[in-house]
A and B are shown apart, each in its own frame.
Chain A
C-alpha cells in the first residue's frame, strides 16, 4: 500500500471512528454493490412499448434533435433525403460494424459512404445506437470496434439509426442491457448518452447549438 493511499484511506477511517470495514457491515455494502437497489421509479416512462417510442421521439425533438420514423427498407432513402433537404454533402463517415449493413445503402447512388472512425474534416456521420431512453429522449452508444466514439463527436451532423426495439424506459434499463451484453465487470471503454445536439449557454445564458460536438442530430427510428 503506497503511503499516499494509506494516508487517505486511514484518514477516512480515523474520521469515521472505525477501522477497515469488516463483518456484517462489510457484507451489507458488498451485497448492495452486487445487487444495486433501484431508485424511485419514474412513472413518466413506465409505458407500453409503442408509447415508449412516442415518448422518446417527443423528448428528442424537445431537445433539438429531429426525428423520422420509417420502415427498415426506407432508412437509406430517409438519410439521403435528409442530407439533400438540409443542403448537406451526400457523403458520410459510417460506423464500421455490421449493425448498419442490413439497410439498402446501395439504393442511394449519390450517397458516398466511408466506413471507419470520425475525422476532424467529416461533415456527416451515420451510426447505430445501443439504446434510446424514452424518459428524456436520450441516445446511448457503446464504444468498440464497430462504433468509434469520434463518429459521435467530430462531424457537424450526426445521423443515428435506432431500432424501435432498442428504446427503453429509463437509465436503469440501459444498465441492465449493458451488463447483459458486456458482463457486469466489463464496461466498454466509453458509453455516451447523448440528448440532442451539442450546445452551450456560456455567452449571456443563451443557448447556441454546436459548441464542440454536432450542430445537428437526426434520429431515424426504424419501425419493427
Chain B
C-alpha cells in the first residue's frame, strides 16, 4: 500500500475531528487496557512469563539462521516447501507463481500484516486473482478499500452503522437487500457470504504468529476460525511469514501464547490456536494437498546486531497501541502505513526509510506506557529516540527545532549563564500570573499555547534555587 506517513500531521488533524473515530477510540482506550490489566492480574506468573518471552526471542534472534534452517528442514521432511524472499517483490512473485500453478481465481486470506506490508492484494488483483479477506474486520475494510487501522482489530475505527451501509452496498447483488441494524445479524450475513467463498477458493493464504523450528509447524492464533478454514478447505495452503517469526520449540510457544492473548485482548486464550505441519497425510479426509511457506526478510536481517534489534522481538499483540495516548487520540490511519502506534513508529522508519516516516517517532510523549505493557519488553521509547537521533544526524529535523536544540546545548554547557537565565525566566513568567499553575496564553509562545496550556514555573523558584534552599 502507498504510504502517507510523511503526511502524518495532516492525517492527525483530520483524525482529531472525525466523530466516529473519536467514539471508537474512547471505547478502545478503556476496553482493551482494562481487559489486559484484569487478565494479567489473574495470572500471578505473568511478569515472569514476560521476562521469559523476551529471553526466548533474544535467544532466537541471536541464532536466527540456525532456527530458520532447522524449520526449513522439518517442513521439507514432511512434504512441504519453503521459499525465501529477500524483498517484498520476491515474496509477491513467489506467491503469484504458486497461485498460477493452481490456476487460482480466488485466494481465501486470513489476516496477515506481512501481506499488507508487501501490498499483496493490489498485486493479485492486477493479475486477475481475487484475494478475499476472511477476518471479519479485514473483510469490512477490504469492501471499503481502506487499510487496517489496528493490527489486531483492523476495523476498530468504524461504527456498526458504517458496517451496515458497507454490507448493504456490497451484498445487495447477492440478494441481501435489507439494511441490518444488529451486530449479530451483520456477523451472520458475513459468515454466510464468506462461507461460500471459502468453499470455492483455490488457495488459502495465512500469516503465522510463530514458526516452530522443532516441528516445522506454522502456528496461527485467531478468534473467528477464519484462518483454520483458509488452511483446511483450499487445495493449497500458503503461509507468509517474516524471518523473526521463527521460535525454537513448542515449549517456547507455550510461554509466548500465555502472554500473547492476554496482552492483545485480555483473553486467557484466543479461541483458535492451530499448528499446521506440511500437507494432508495419506488417509486424511480433508486438508490441503500442497503446503508452502514463504519466508520474508524485507530489511529485517540488517536490523540484527544493531541498537534497533529489540524491535524484532515483537509478537504483534497491539498492546502498545492500545495503551498509547497518541494512538488513542488519532487512531491507526494517521500513521499512514501498515503498522500504527508505537511499534509502527519504530518499524515504519526501518521498512520505508526515515525520510518517509520521520514524523512517526516524534509522535510520542515518551510516557512509557507502551514499554510497560509490551509482553516481550521492547524498549519502544528508547527505539523511537534512536530514530529521532538518526533523523537529526541526517538533518531531517525542522530548522526551528535544530536551532532551539543548539541554543539549549549552548546554555547547558555554561551552568552559570543557564542558572541566571532560568532565574530571569522564572521571574518574568511570574509577572503573567501563575495562580492556576498554567497559562492559556503567553506572548511569543502562541505556537505552544494554541493547542495546550504552558505550565507555570513553581512558586519556589527554579530547580537550582529550590535545591540550594532544601538540600540537607
List A residues at the B interface (Cβ < 8 Å).
2, 4-5, 7-9, 11-13, 15-17, 20-21, 26, 29, 32-33, 36-44, 59, 62-63, 96, 116-118, 120, 135-138, 143-145, 148-150, 152-154, 170-172, 175, 178, 185-206, 208, 210-214
Q: Across the interface, which residues of B come within 8 angstroms of A116, CB to CB?
A: 285
Point out the residue from B56, B67, B90, B134 that lies within 8 Å of A212, measured CB to CB.
Answer: B134
Q: Across the interface, which residues of A come within 8 angstroms of B265, CB to CB?
A: 201
Q: Across the interface, which residues of A come within 8 angstroms of B305, CB to CB?
A: 15-17
Q: Across the interface, which residues of B come within 8 angstroms of A21, CB to CB?
A: 63, 65-66
Interchain residue pairs with CB less than 8 A apart (7): A4-B85, A11-B86, A63-B269, A144-B284, A178-B250, A189-B278, A213-B272
Q: How far is the CB of A32 from chain B (nearest CB, A)?
A: 6
Q: How far is the CB of B241 from chain A (nearest CB, A)?
A: 13
* A96 vs B286: C-alpha distance when bound (angstroms): 13
A175 to B, closest residue via Cβ: B250
Among B250-289, those with CB < 8 Å from A are 250-255, 257-258, 265, 267-281, 283-287
Check if A12 sits within 8 Å of B155, measured CB to CB.
Answer: no
A172 to B, closest residue via Cβ: B254
Point out the residue from B154, B186, B258 that lies within 8 Å of A42, measured CB to CB.
Answer: B258
Q: How far is the CB of B466 from chain A (nearest CB, A)?
A: 45
Q: What range describes how many residues of B lie at the interface?
A: 35 or more
Check if A11 sits within 8 Å of B85, measured CB to CB.
Answer: no
Given A39-B252, A190-B275, answer yes or no on A203-B232 (Cβ-Cβ < 8 Å): no
B156 to A, closest residue via Cβ: A205
Q: How far is the CB of B233 from chain A (nearest CB, A)?
A: 7
B153 at interface, CB cutoff 8 A:
yes
Check if B249 sits within 8 Å of A36, measured CB to CB.
Answer: yes
For the complex of A and B, 8 pairs with smallest distance between CB atoms: A213-B225, A39-B255, A211-B224, A202-B137, A36-B249, A15-B304, A145-B283, A171-B254
Among B116-140, those with CB < 8 Å from A are 134-137, 140
Point out the residue from B27, B187, B269, B306 that lies within 8 Å of A200, measured CB to CB.
Answer: B187
Point out the residue from B45, B84, B216, B273 that lies within 8 Å of A4, measured CB to CB.
Answer: B84
Check if A212 sits within 8 Å of B194, measured CB to CB.
Answer: yes
B214 at interface, CB cutoff 8 A:
yes
Among B155-212, those with CB < 8 Å from A are 155-156, 158-160, 163, 183-184, 186-188, 190-191, 194-196, 198-199
Point out the residue from B52, B153, B276 that lies within 8 Å of A39, measured CB to CB.
Answer: B52
Check if A12 sits within 8 Å of B226, measured CB to CB.
Answer: no
